[in-house]
Structure 1
Amino acid sequence: MHSQLVRVLGSEQLRPIRKHLIAMIVYAVLQGVAFALLVPVLSALLDGDAGRAGAWLGLLAAVTAAAGVAYYVQALLGFTTAVSTTGLLYHRLGERLGRLGVGWFSRARLGPLTRLATGGVGEVTQLFAHLLAPLIISVVSPLTVLVVMVFLDWRLAAAMAASGPLLLLAYRWSASAISRTDAAVDEAMARANDRIFEFARAQPVIRAFGRGDTRNDLLDQELERQHDIGLARLRRASLARGAFGATVQLVVTALLALATALAIGGSVGAAELIALAVLLVRFSEPVGALSDAGGALRAVRNRLDQLDEIFRTPPLPEPDEPLRPADATVELSDVRFRYPDSPGTGPVLDGVGALLPANTMTALVGPSGSGKTTVTRLIARFWDVDGGSVRMGGVDVRDMDATTLAGHVAMVFQDVYLFEGTIEDNVRVGRPDATADELADAARLARVDEIVERLPDGWNTAVGEGGAALSGGERQRISLARALLKRAPVLILDEATSALDPVNEMAISDTLRTLAGRCTLLVIAHRLPTVVAADRILVLDGGKVAESGTHEDLLAEDGIYRHFWQERSRVQGWRLRSGAGA
């Protein structure tokens, strides 16, 4: 666990953790000594020796007071460490997630990651506030009693030492029995969280199909599964903890029987027997608490394993001496790529080569699944290519640091996500320090100014979670304004006009033609005006560039693009007519 804590929390947090551990050990030792001092105190009292009893009682009081101070110090250090660790861990986790490739997020489910980022961090940090102290006391205090017992009666000390392996074996069996269900419980909770998220986000679809008042079978199944697994774990845990508790009581009973036998044989006096009996009972209390402390520690260990997996996952490698691109030219050379989470499938891209000259507009077209979106993600280095290279301004994107690459590329995604806040907040994500004039210019180009003027709160209009308070077209225009405000040399648009009405689509197509002289534009589009406006069209099919050229050049060939154009033209010509001839 020590190495995991170093990876998850960082080496700078080791010093306060060690101070906390030392304080807890001191407290546990003092508590064990206080338990042991009960023997001479009770022995002197039962013998009627007031002077000796007073002396031992004074020492007991001093040790108890010191234990009280040590308890306060370790508790204060524990809470202080927990609070500082919470902030540090959230910061380190966010920083680490920001450095991981997008491919990692495509394999991670929202439920487990959300649970880890919320409850998981709290479970780890409560280790210092609530869990370490009981665990250390459960081990150190009995060991202290054992050491003191050597000086009181070596035979009982030997018997206590001999019972150690039995207690350890019972504890390990108990822990193993409970831990076998931990993974199943975690998986069930994660799957249930996934279904709850899905149920909440799919409410428009559910209600549109009249399912709002009916049971959600998938959600109900996961909740019932979680209930059944949790109940099975509770039964197993109760049995395991009961067995461990019974073992502790059996050991204490055996030790009491030995002490009684020694008293009957005359080796131990009656007063010493009573005192030793009290000490043995006190010895059993922290040992019995070991099961609960160990169970809580296993839960923390599971969360640490999950966090450690994230911190052990290598981020995309950064160059030691990063380079800067000379211009906004983009070049793909024999690019090959297969998604990491799809090892059994063929490559998405298989030898793609293309040149996007600086300050020109290139359109990507092709059937669904041909790799258009993958090309844009590789240019932004969401993943690294399996073969070939992606260059920007003559520099391989792998030879650029993340900040430089991010500063050179702006993207408008097909699935638009807006952060909860105002319209201005979301547009300024592109460049927070932009002036009011620059903000207004980006809004005008993306036709966001029309949205702002129409809404009562203007720029201060709240967009809701994920932009739910706005229409799809409004969200897409805000996303486009966000990218335009960034003023990156390379602008990538993935179906950026798919949710716009024809008027705004034509307006934004004019905007794209204007931008083509300012930056390198790569556009995935199926709308004909956007495709025609491109300086060059790349047709992807089967993971390769099947055709390339201008609109006129490709129409002259009897290829994929010509059929694409004819199909789109036929669809655009559809009309709904009323009357008998319809």
Structure 2
Amino acid sequence: MRRILRLMLTAAGPYAPQFRRTLRISLAASLVQAAAYATLVPLLAELTRDPVRTDRAWLWVGLLAGLVTVEAVLRIRETAFTYDHWHLVTQATRLRLGATLRAMPQQELARRAAGDLGSVVGGNATAAAGAISSLSTLFIQLVAVPAVLGVVVLVLDWRLGLVLVAATLAALPLVRQVQRRANSGFHHVDEADADLAARIVEYVQGLPVLKATGQAGADSPRLRTVLADQHHAQSAANRSAALPVAGAQLIVQLALVALVALGAALALDLRLSPATVAAVVVTAARFAEPLGLAAVMTKLFEQAEAALHRVDELLAVRPLPVTPGGPGPTGHHITFEDVTFGYEGQREPTLEQVSFTVPEGSLTALVGPSGSGKTTVTKLIARYADPQHGTVRLGGADLRSLDPDDLLRHLAVVFQDVYLFDDTIRANIALARPDATDADITTAARAANAHEFISRLPDGYDTRVGEIGSALSGGERQRISIARAILKDAPVVLLDEPTAALDTESEAVVQQAVARLVAGRTVVVIAHRLSTIAGADQILVLDGGRIAQRGTHAALLAEPDGRYARMWHAQLAAREWHLGPSAPLDGLRPLRDPGTVDEG
């Protein structure tokens, strides 16, 4: 329970002081409750006297009533935390998790499935708050009341007390066994739930593909496996603890039978009064009830512990460190100094001893085969992660000395795969600058060649784009993304070939928008169609994580045996490619645009 209490205090966050106060109130209420049960002993003794001393009997009744009243008041104060703070703890936990996700290194964020994170922020946060508000006080009650009543029985008669002590010692190993099995089992259940949540998100997002391939529905192999794993984990967790729970409850019941039998024998031998025996039996029953519940409740405690652990694990992820006292950027040129970087779990680095400079206001293109490190370069500029060796600088400042929010204010990013939120077009563009006016948003949309198609929509800028922008075409989504980048007006622009997946007509419109976006800015662009970057100030050809060539388009073509020249001629040849005369559809042009070939 110490471990669970520590996790509860972590999850309580800013409400930890109120939580501690609630625990103290719960302990006081439990002690008062135990004292109320203890008054039954002298009360029954007075009621069985001959003659009954009425004044003393009423004294004990009054004390019992007073203790019950005090306990009720304390319980009301105890439950105030549940009613007043439970939803606040849930909200605060989710806000803290949100802040953690916002500051989490992109490398760590990319490693986690969206459904898994959703499960932690949603279900686990709720379960953690529930554990804080209910299970913690219940645990105190289950421990404090039997402890006090056990002492009372020992004082009344050590022989009857030993029966309860023996029962407790016999049941505790079984309770511990339930704890160990439930702890392992519910961690597996929680992992299975997270896997299922992640797979459901994947299933919903990929439903069009699954329908087209006949793998949608209840028999989808993408869901069937994780559903089976979840069922197996839940069944195993319940089965593993069933026998120890039943054993602990049986021991408690046998202890009560033994106590009644021993008490009756002592009463028949006149070594114990019937009133004392009756009081001990009542007290022992109240003693045994929590002990029997403890075995069952242990499963709930461990289930809560699994949820608390997942919340604590996510909160424990530290953001990338910021070196204090470093100078800020003096300009917007970008420098890589002997940079080596490898992703977690990879044996070979993705980039190795890479050095180059992107002068302020220039355009640098990154080309090369898939896996050569092009995207990694742009990720390091946005501080997706820190290199294992070397330094990345912006305006002469080491990125490790810049606050992540300050760094991102200097950058605008346009990805090949655009992500739009299920909101209005206006809201999606305004993400770049929440305080932007409608006029600012319209100006950015015009510059991105998006205003015309937006105006034709039924609700104009208030049209909802659907999940991931599904209500718009690829070219329309890309223009919304460019409008967002134009509105941000950042001095550095990172482009991941924004026209690679577009048709010819959309490409021409988007290229015009991109030209307006990059004008006068420091630009790094990942290029697959070499014709689109022929006018770049410099072209870096990456191969195997190293810079194989660098120079202008003309200078690189002047090296006929170089990789860039081979890629260029391969793309020229691909434009003339068609199916041979032996093919059944002679002369059919390939569906894939030949301009996307990036290596020979």
TM-score range, shorter chain: over 0.9
Once residues 435 and 35 of structure 1 are traced to their aligned partners in structure 2, the CA distance between those partners, rounded to angstroms, is 69
Residues 575 and 486 of structure 1: CA distance in aligned 2, closer, same or farther (over 3 Å): farther
Partner residue, 1:565? 568
Once residues 516 and 412 of structure 1 are traced to their aligned partners in structure 2, the CA distance between those partners, rounded to angstroms, is 11
Contact 2:448/2:514 (8 A) holds in 1: no
SS of the aligned residue for 1:180 comes to helix
Contact 2:331/2:360 (8 A) holds in 1: yes
Which structure 2 residues correspond to residues 89-100 of structure 1 after superposition, within 5 A? Answer: 89-100=93-104
Cα deviation, 1:171-192, whole Å, max 9, x if unaligned, reads: 1122223333223222322222
Deviates more, 1:151-160 or 1:170-179: 151-160
Question: Does 1:438 pair with 2:437?
Answer: no
Percent identical among aligned pairs is 37
Contact 1:33/1:148 (8 A) holds in 2: no
Which of 398, 401, 404 is matched with 1:399 structurally?
401
Partner residue, 2:541? 539
Partner residue, 1:377? 379
Which of 233, 236, 239 is matched with 1:232 structurally?
236
Once residues 539 and 219 of structure 1 are traced to their aligned partners in structure 2, the CA distance between those partners, rounded to angstroms, is 42
Which structure 2 residues correspond to residues 116-515 of structure 1 after superposition, within 5 A? Answer: 116-212=120-216, 215-340=219-344, 342-343=345-346, 345-515=347-517
Contact 1:548/1:554 (8 A) holds in 2: yes
Cα deviation, 1:331-387, whole Å, max 9, x if unaligned, reads: 1111100002x24x2110011111111111111111001010000000000100111
Once residues 283 and 10 of structure 2 are traced to their aligned partners in structure 1, the CA distance between those partners, rounded to angstroms, is 42
1:322 positional shift: 4.5
Residues 426 and 17 of structure 1: CA distance in aligned 2, closer, same or farther (over 3 Å): same
Contact 1:37/1:60 (8 A) holds in 2: yes
> Structure 2 unaligned runs (5+)?
588-600
1:29 positional shift: 0.9
1:136 positional shift: 1.0
Partner residue, 1:70? 74
Question: Does 1:101 pair with 2:105?
Answer: yes
1:410 positional shift: 1.2
1:517 positional shift: 4.1
TM-score using structure 1 length: 0.94
Q: Match of 1:15, as an amino acid?
A: P
Q: Match of 1:116, as an amino acid?
A: V
Residues 469 and 104 of structure 1: CA distance in aligned 2, closer, same or farther (over 3 Å): same
Once residues 193 and 132 of structure 2 are traced to their aligned partners in structure 1, the CA distance between those partners, rounded to angstroms, is 25
Contact 1:134/1:293 (8 A) holds in 2: no
Residues 234 and 386 of structure 1: CA distance in aligned 2, closer, same or farther (over 3 Å): same
Deviates more, 1:147-156 or 1:259-268: 147-156
1:521 positional shift: 0.9
1:158 positional shift: 4.6
Once residues 521 and 360 of structure 2 are traced to their aligned partners in structure 1, the CA distance between those partners, rounded to angstroms, is 7
Once residues 472 and 517 of structure 2 are traced to their aligned partners in structure 1, the CA distance between those partners, rounded to angstroms, is 26
Once residues 9 and 133 of structure 1 are traced to their aligned partners in structure 2, the CA distance between those partners, rounded to angstroms, is 14
1:321 positional shift: 2.3
State the Cα RMSD in Å.
2.3
SS of the aligned residue for 1:47 comes to coil
Which structure 2 residues correspond to residues 24-103 of structure 1 after superposition, within 5 A? Answer: 24-47=26-49, 49=52, 51=54, 52-103=56-107
Q: Match of 1:239, as an amino acid?
A: L
Cα deviation, 1:103-138, whole Å, max 9, x if unaligned, reads: 112222233222111110011101133212221111
Residues 349 and 548 of structure 1: CA distance in aligned 2, closer, same or farther (over 3 Å): same
1:93 positional shift: 0.9
SS of the aligned residue for 2:355 comes to strand
Aligned residues: 579
Cα deviation, 1:61-87, whole Å, max 9, x if unaligned, reads: 111111111111111123323222112
Once residues 206 and 538 of structure 2 are traced to their aligned partners in structure 1, the CA distance between those partners, rounded to angstroms, is 39
Question: Does 1:15 pair with 2:42?
Answer: no
Q: Match of 1:235, as an amino acid?
A: R
Once residues 468 and 3 of structure 1 are traced to their aligned partners in structure 2, the CA distance between those partners, rounded to angstroms, is 45
Deviates more, 1:525-534 or 1:422-431: 525-534
1:424 positional shift: 0.7
> Structure 1 unaligned runs (5+)?
none
Once residues 356 and 232 of structure 1 are traced to their aligned partners in structure 2, the CA distance between those partners, rounded to angstroms, is 58
Residues 130 and 426 of structure 1: CA distance in aligned 2, closer, same or farther (over 3 Å): same
Residues 229 and 516 of structure 1: CA distance in aligned 2, closer, same or farther (over 3 Å): closer
Q: Match of 1:430, as an amino acid?
A: A
Deviates more, 1:316-325 or 1:257-266: 257-266
Q: Match of 1:187, as an amino acid?
A: E
Contact 2:8/2:132 (8 A) holds in 1: no
Q: Match of 1:436, as an amino acid?
A: D
Residues 218 and 580 of structure 1: CA distance in aligned 2, closer, same or farther (over 3 Å): closer
